[in-house]
Amino acid sequence: MAVIEIAPGLEVPDAELEFAYIRSPGPGGQNVNKVASAVQLRFNAGASVILDGWSRTRIATLAGRRLTREGWIVLSAHRHRTQEANRRDAFERLAELILGARERPKARRATKPTRGARERRLEGKKQRTDVKRLRGRPSVE
């Protein structure tokens, strides 16, 4: 069983990846109709051994529409003219997705605005009120 290295110490087993080669959309003349240069990479995130439970739910969130009901992530690459360049592009995007899913986001700590910030906000609101009041009809006194 072959493995593909994403980062030092992180390798994806070849069995979790499926590559399909399809014809690329868009311009390209006659060649685009006869050469399958676009790549469709499928990664079995639902049964992956490199993802723990937390990372699996996070990658599902990050993948969005690219995740199927069966737990496969489908990435299409057709940016380049050659099949090998598109294959590399699809795998690099998968690597970014996996690395992003494995790192935990920093927890947001709730803070209160400072006294100065509150005063600046209220001062801005007063100025805006004055501007709008001056736009109205002059009062008859």
pTM over 0.75: no
Q: Residue 58 has which token pair?
A: 């996070």
Strand order in the sheet with 38-44: 17-22, 38-44, 72-77
Domain ranges of the chain: 3-102
| The CATH number of domain 3-102 is 3.30.160.20 | yes
pLDDT in tens, 72-93: 899 999 888 888 999 899 989 9
Question: Of the given ranges (65-69, 110-114, 124-128, 136-140), which has the lowest mean pLDDT?
Answer: 136-140
Q: How many Å is the Cα radius of gyration of the chain?
A: 26
Residue with tokens 């499926």: 18
3-state helix, strand, coil in the chain (%, to 5): 45, 20, 35
